[in-house]
Chains A and B, each alone.
Chain A
């Protein structure tokens, strides 16, 4: 007992000494970093934790939500890097699930910006509570839908007509779906209306909840390689489509002017993607708020960066490449921030 007591005492003494040592003293690695270019700390392992930045000016410290799909990564990385380089903001990137989880984090104050949200108003509850505001469109247009591998469209040309889908139900039968066709639904966090689609179109299909995007990509890759029939949820812009060609099933159009008719959904609409931010950020007067407000680019822009990331660049490198190649667009975003 006594000896361990001494050991513990020693540990405490040492820890105190160590912390005292750590607290004092100028010229540490940290100070060196803020005066010169910072070394990238393990950027390959933890891009989200990187914190190389010029001395924070009046921009302040803000959190950017990171979502898993690469298109989102492209947008968020470009936004973060412009904020860091041009405005001297201190940006923390936090990886979170889409939607509710992130809205909660925004309400809790750990995240300030979602640069690309697909969810058509599902954030309303948080807006009502004064936590989140819509900051307009980010310029990307998303299209969700049900897709099959390209070879199926070649072989059965009218399969893309959603009203004919029942004739092909047998092709999509699996042990999971029993005597109906298997309908691979999108991951839990994504916007999905499969049940409504099946009901509204009277389809003889059974929903298989895939649970993750990995499962969908796995299924489509297999379907393409082995010429297996797969019907599943997917979306554009997504550069997976450049690797495994898919074609979209089109269901009868619906009236989209009235959001209240959502219960009659017969296909996914084209979705202009929305920027969301915390009220705290937008009321702060920070130049970062202005940048978020101004941020806008096209599907093509996003795909360029996304493709670079997929072909092996780090998100930072890919974002930097786009920023260097598009000074006009960046300058337009910076309007009103005082930076150039």
Chain B
């Protein structure tokens, strides 16, 4: 091969850029790094600070607030408080909400029964009962009420929009950039602006939850409508149906199963967000989880985290059971229908009795303390975390220090402690090489915008942590993903762990991670890995499973070893899934590296957090939020690589 041909290879070009970059950066270490101390404002953050102060000052008088934002706040708060009042929050001076725990439990069981199966109803009731036994009944109900309220509001907006976007490509075109943006937006970012406008409390938390869950619902609904078989629709059209008839009589019923799936995904998204929303005053299980961090009580956080997981399992299983029933329900025999109707009637009467009892008998009104074992769980969790700290602490501390010295610090030297223009040029060149000219130009513009925020150095610190964490995630994701994809038993073993990892709020494992690694950037990296690995493992395993059996068998019969089958057949064939995994891994890691600001990682995450609690630094917090969004788009675009394919929806 001659030199020119080699130089045309993309990875060779990228390598040359990297080497030149590293050498120049080492020579120019500490020059023009744009480092800015926390208390100092850049011109841009000063503008943001003044804007924030102006908004705070105008909340009481400005017509925009009096006639627009404040009414929205009141309406949403009132709406959520209806649910709260029924199942979660006692009226002033009262002991129980409108329904006692037993009435609520049976009522929820009845609703699940009515929408899916008796078995599912019993499972749901059991899971909720466990939440009560953890000592978390009222808090679980607060979270449930918040979730239901937010989901109802989200669906009210997202279902019509999703249907419209499914019917009309032009609408989808308008919506798509927003949906894409919402997908790369780390959740912590929009809390501060919302709290600024809608104040701390239920309204802000609900709106934040909606921003998070609406795009998911729109995407799935639009896809459901769009991918319908055209036959029945054309038949109805030629039979002279109006567009409205077509929609309500043909398209919606046909897409119903997928739309219920959209409801399922919206519910889970809303629930997973309700914990984070506790940072801006959402009531419920998020509160003890976040308090556990401040007062350093792992146990209480774990107990509340468990309740979140139980609630998530309950909501997930009961809504997916509704999907299954919907698919199989039409074929049911008449006798079965009658039996079911009788069952519903009996359950309904039982529910009324339970509600009555729960209002008049203390045992059915207030969850009996004798049944609560949450404190033992908390103690056990505390003991375990203490044991791990005492016995494994020396390992993790030395390990993380070595890693920091040999990998993280050098990378950070190149990215952050070198002249800003060098980093900007190098990243732009890499984007050109790896993702083509369009993305290259886009990345250049976005980097210039990061520079304009004045938070260049902090952004590069965050980037360094994100890249390293993503590296770990991809390695773990491929190893475990291949394992789970090849072996059904491995999949069975990993699945509950992945479920828990995806629903357990990141804040729960903040404290143990902190105990093991101290307030370091490495702790933030570990957080990102724990949070993002399940998603990547899932995507890779899916990809491996979709490799045609014939190709694998052919390779085996040709005498390939297991390793050869994996490296020569399964991995190359599932390349697309792996790339998607890398992309999703990056986005998920970025979302959580921000939370690393709570464990001493500095960077943009710290600025977001400090901006929320110190009014004089509000400008830096808001600007850091913008920088995170810019960084998210940059990473997303580069990771999508050359051919323009849009990532699938979040799982």
Contact = CB atoms under 8 A, between A and B. Distances in A.
B613 A99 contact: yes
Contact of A174 (B139, B356, B401): B401
B612 A100 contact: yes
A133 interface: no
Given A56-B92, A212-B294, A42 B404 contact: no
Interface in B599-632: 599-602, 606, 609-610, 612-616, 618
Interface string B143-183: 00000000000000000000000000000000000000000
Contacts of A178: 409
B223 interface: no
A214 B511 contact: yes
Contacts, number: 254
Interface in B339-396: 344, 348, 351-352, 355-356, 359-362, 365-367, 369, 372, 374-375, 393
A28 B57 contact: no
Interface stretch (A15-23, A155-163, A316-324, A328-336): A15-23
A7 B344 contact: yes
Most buried by B among A1, A41, A69: A41
B222 interface: no
Interface string A29-46: 110111000110110111
B111 A11 contact: yes
B281 A105 contact: yes
B375 A44 contact: yes
Given A209-B606, A214-B294, A90 B92 contact: yes
B600 A211 contact: yes
A14 B296 CA distance: 44
Contacts of B404: 175-176
B519 interface: yes
Interface stretch (B94-102, B498-506, B533-541): B94-102
B95 A42 contact: no
A55 interface: yes
A219 B200 contact: no
A167 B366 CA distance: 61
Interface string B66-103: 00000000000000000000100111111110111001
A184 interface: yes
Contact of B92 (A51, A103, A129, A176): A51
Nearest to B606: A209
A125 B615 contact: yes
A183 to B, nearest CB: 12
A8 B53 CA distance: 48
B337 interface: yes
Nearest to B202: A110
B518 A4 contact: no
A90 B94 CA distance: 10
B521 A176 contact: yes
B555 interface: no
A211 B610 CA distance: 8
B355 A105 contact: no
A52 interface: yes
A27 interface: yes
A56 B115 CA distance: 43
B293 A108 contact: no
Interface in B478-527: 511, 514-515, 518-521
B41 interface: no
Interface stretch (A188-196, A270-278, A281-289, A297-305): A188-196
Contacts of B95: 29-30, 33, 38-39, 41, 51-52
Nearest to A52: B95
A22 B195 CA distance: 35
B600 A105 contact: no
Given A29-B100, A68-B294, A90 B359 contact: no
Contacts of B337: 3
Nearest to B354: A18
Interface on chain B toward A: helix, strand, loop, or mixed SS?
helix
A104 B93 contact: no
Given A11-B110, A218-B519, A219-B519, A211 B599 contact: yes
A104 B613 contact: no
B135 A45 contact: yes
A215 interface: yes
Given A39-B95, A107-B199, A29 B37 contact: no
A150 interface: no
A42 B38 contact: no
Contacts of B100: 29
A61 B296 CA distance: 31
Given A29-B362, A212-B294, A100 B614 contact: yes
B200 A175 contact: no
Contacts of A61: 92
A25 interface: yes
B296 A176 contact: no
B123 interface: no
Interface in A163-197: 174-176, 178, 184, 187-189, 195-196
Contacts of B86: 19, 22
B607 to A, nearest CB: 9
Most buried by B among A11, A46, A188: A188
Contact of A208 (B91, B98, B519): B519
A18 B94 contact: no
Interface in A251-296: none
B523 to A, nearest CB: 9
Contacts of B602: 208-209
A18 B600 CA distance: 51
Interface of B: 37-39, 53, 56-57, 59-60, 86, 89-96, 98-100, 103, 107, 110-111, 114-115, 134-139, 195, 199-201, 253, 256, 280-281, 287, 291, 293-296, 326, 329, 337, 344, 348, 351-352, 355-356, 359-362, 365-367, 369, 372, 374-375, 393, 401, 404-405, 408-409, 511, 514-515, 518-521, 597-602, 606, 609-610, 612-616, 618
18 contacts: A29-B96, A32-B362, A34-B94, A42-B138, A61-B92, A69-B294, A96-B281, A97-B613, A99-B613, A101-B612, A105-B200, A125-B57, A129-B57, A174-B401, A176-B519, A211-B609, A214-B296, A219-B518
Given A96-B200, A100-B613, A212-B294, 15 more contacts: A1-B253, A10-B348, A45-B374, A70-B295, A95-B291, A97-B613, A101-B281, A104-B195, A105-B199, A105-B201, A105-B281, A110-B281, A176-B404, A195-B37, A209-B602
